[in-house]
Structure 1
Amino acid sequence: MFDEGKEFQKLLEVEKKMDQIIRRKQIQNCSPLIGPQLIIPKRIRIFISHLYHRLDSETQIPKWELRIEGRCIDDCSVTAPILPPSHLSTLEKLVANKTNKRFNDFFSNVVVELPANLYGTTQNIIEWKRDPDAPTDGCVIARNGDSDIHLKIKFWRYNNPQKFKIHPYLAKLLGFAYGTRSNIMEALFSYIRTEGLQVCLLSLF
């Protein structure tokens, strides 16, 4: 026998889920303050090089430099080779910096981890932090030593506004794994309203 009440409840559940999915997409693609955002993808090429300083005398301490640079390649010439910023002329740097984004527009932090057995547990971690008032094309690290070493370089992407990684359980609930603070809070309260959980929360107090 056809039960209209049960079928109607199923239809309401499907409609609720559809509304929740649509709301998630709206939150991900639109900011409540400035409206829809136009996302323009940019590509950056990372250049990593090192330099060893020769000793002029036996009393000098051997040193090496690690240079980490980045350059946006979207507006670069197709025919000309893409060189790191340190290899560009003054005029080329002015043109590139005027039209393209720079290294600190892509990354907020860069961490270089050196071997602890050579540089100790307090000196083996070097961190570069983004300074919004000082645009740069990269960073240079200098240390004493003349032996080959293995190191790790970690990059943290810069987001404005800042984005956070959501716990897997909460991400499964909200439908996305990364988001801004306002996106996460809005999606969470939207889920609470959709599921009628605000009544449960009020009943606890």
Structure 2
Amino acid sequence: MAQRFPPSQPTPSPVQQPQRYPTPSGPPLRQYATPTFPLQQRPGGFVQGGGMGSGMMPRPQQQPYNPIRPPIPQSQKRPSDVRPPQQQPKGEFPHTSAGGSSGKKKKKLADKILPQKVRDLVPESQAYMDLLAFERKLDSTIMRKRLDIQEALKRPMKQKRKLRIFISNTFYPAKEATETEEGSVASWELRVEGRLLEDSKNDPNKPPPLQVKRKFSSFFKSLVIELDKELYGPDNHLVEWHRTPTTQETDGFQVKRPGDKNVRCTILLLLDYQPLQFKLDTRLARLLGVHTQTRPVIISALWQYIKTHKLQDPHEREYINCDKYLEQTFSCPRMKFAEIPQRLNPLLHPPDPIVINHIISVEGTEQKQTACYDIDVEVDDTLKTQMNNFLLSTASQQEIQSLDNKIHETVETINQLKTNREFFLSFAKDPQQFINKWIISQTRDLKTMTDVVGNPEEERRAEFYYQNWAQEAVCRYFYTKVQQKRAELEQALGIRNT
């Protein structure tokens, strides 16, 4: 019977002994080409009188030695349902344990889904699953709408509004000098102001949308007031204002001049179109029915005219066969569609200014006389601001995230309770077998936690050493010892020879 060695005793390290024998004479030691010993195998076990190899068991033909323990048979494996439920403190979950925010696992949609076993036990949970499917559809719809809004914001969104211009003048008669006051000559003052009118289409019961008030000058690119040249001469009859990158916006313009006669003046207002608009050549404007528009709208109207009159070449689709009107306008019988923007440039002119003829009256003394004019202007659609606010709003996102966290925590709690139920249900069915399996499971967990090497319970039995790997281990152990002694001997001989 094999002798049992306690596994806790470490293998003693070899101690180098002093040289006790003289150097042998004769041929040197023979080296073997393979890491095995030439054993004289006989049926029945050990070799009698085999010299160094005597007393050793024959080495069986099998796979190379693997230092890793052999796998545990399926019958000895720990069942998966005997682990006790892991108790978590209330309100605390595995993903929120020590490790900080970097250790939190990323929550996914799959973490919201209840296991099938839970749904079978609780039929009411199907209502939750229906809500979950509806939430996915709703999220998909909202995402599509957000993408649509982002695409819509890339295009200019304008609406037409009425801008009411107020042109007023006040006459100040001459005053003679007195002992207390200085005298002054007769003069007049002209003011040009304006404001946007409320949209009449809005519901009167509905509060108007919040808007940022625009300055009067922000609607115009330039303003020119031309006075009577005969009264004020060629050098003082023009008052001009032009927009620059550093222009400060204002609510109105004011002009003050000396005089006591009625003055004819012409006010030229050039709107600041965003995006830029152009006035079409007269012939092209009559052809397309467009007077002043942006470049994309003009090209689209021209393409519509080409399609309507079937002017695209049937064979060479990139060419346009001009009819007599287009030929007169573009001065060519045929042109490529890609050439249209370039050929349109000479036919596009700056838009006409708004011209207002006004008479500055000096009949009333220090009485303000006002004239009103309404013009159409384009302003940003208020819906654009609401779209931007919708895309930038994060209040609802934070609330949704908070609710999602609660759902994840609830689902994790349900899964934990399911594990507890399966644990106690297994115990109720067969307490004895359950406790045995549980003790085996806990024993393996304890060995894993305490880093115990080997299996003392198995190693104390003789059958453990009759397995196939034991023979391989014995051979390798003796081979290692022989190699170690041989190295010590060669080292000692080398030192003696020197």
TM-score range, shorter chain: 0.5 to 0.7
8 Å Cα contact 1:50/1:67 also seen in 2: yes
Matches within 5 A, 1:28-177: 34-35=154-155, 37-53=156-172, 54-55=174-175, 57=177, 60-74=184-198, 99-131=212-244, 133-177=247-291
8 Å Cα contact 2:186/2:260 also seen in 1: yes
Give me the TM-score of the superposition, normalised by structure 1: 0.57
What is the deviation of 1:61? Answer: 4.2
Take 2:159 and 2:304, find their aligned partners in 1: how far apart are those partners?
Answer: 28
Aligned residue in 1 for 2:206 = none
8 Å Cα contact 1:45/1:70 also seen in 2: yes
Unpaired runs of at least 5, structure 2: 1-152, 200-210, 313-318, 322-333, 337-498
Aligned residue in 1 for 2:311 = 195
Take 1:56 and 1:135, find their aligned partners in 2: how far apart are those partners?
Answer: 38
Take 2:221 and 2:158, find their aligned partners in 1: how far apart are those partners?
Answer: 19
Take 2:260 and 2:278, find their aligned partners in 1: how far apart are those partners?
Answer: 40
Secondary structure of the equivalent of 1:169?
helix
Query: Over residues 111-149 of structure 1, what are the superposed CA-to-partner deviations in whole Å (9 max), with x where a residue is unaligned?
Result: 222111111233222222245641111111122222222
Take 1:166 and 1:179, find their aligned partners in 2: how far apart are those partners?
Answer: 8
8 Å Cα contact 2:290/2:298 also seen in 1: no
Question: Would you say how many aligned residue pairs link Structure 1 and Structure 2?
Answer: 148
> Mean Cα displacement is larger for which, 174-183 or 114-123?
174-183
Secondary structure of the equivalent of 1:43?
strand
What is the deviation of 1:170? Answer: 0.7
Query: Over residues 43-92 of structure 1, what are the superposed CA-to-partner deviations in whole Å (9 max), with x where a residue is unaligned?
Result: 222222223345463864443221111122328xxxxxxxxxxxxxxxxx
8 Å Cα contact 1:104/1:131 also seen in 2: no
Q: Which structure has greater strand proportion?
A: 1
Q: Structure 1's 130 and 70: CA in aligned 2 closer, same or farther, altered over 3 A?
A: farther
Secondary structure of the equivalent of 1:160?
coil
Q: Structure 1's 56 and 73: CA in aligned 2 closer, same or farther, altered over 3 A?
A: farther
Secondary structure of the equivalent of 1:147?
coil
Secondary structure of the equivalent of 1:117?
helix
Q: Structure 1's 34 and 99: CA in aligned 2 closer, same or farther, altered over 3 A?
A: closer
Q: Which has the larger radius of gyration?
A: 2
Q: Structure 1's 122 and 186: CA in aligned 2 closer, same or farther, altered over 3 A?
A: farther
8 Å Cα contact 1:166/1:177 also seen in 2: yes
Secondary structure of the equivalent of 2:264?
coil
Instruction: Give me the identity figure in percent.
Output: 34
Letter of the 1:166 counterpart: L
Letter of the 1:44 counterpart: L
Letter of the 1:104 counterpart: S
Letter of the 1:72 counterpart: L
Letter of the 1:144 counterpart: P
8 Å Cα contact 2:169/2:190 also seen in 1: yes
Unpaired runs of at least 5, structure 1: 1-32, 76-97
8 Å Cα contact 1:116/1:124 also seen in 2: yes
Take 2:243 and 2:311, find their aligned partners in 1: how far apart are those partners?
Answer: 41
Give me the TM-score of the superposition, normalised by structure 2: 0.26
Take 1:131 and 1:74, find their aligned partners in 2: how far apart are those partners?
Answer: 29
8 Å Cα contact 1:128/1:139 also seen in 2: no
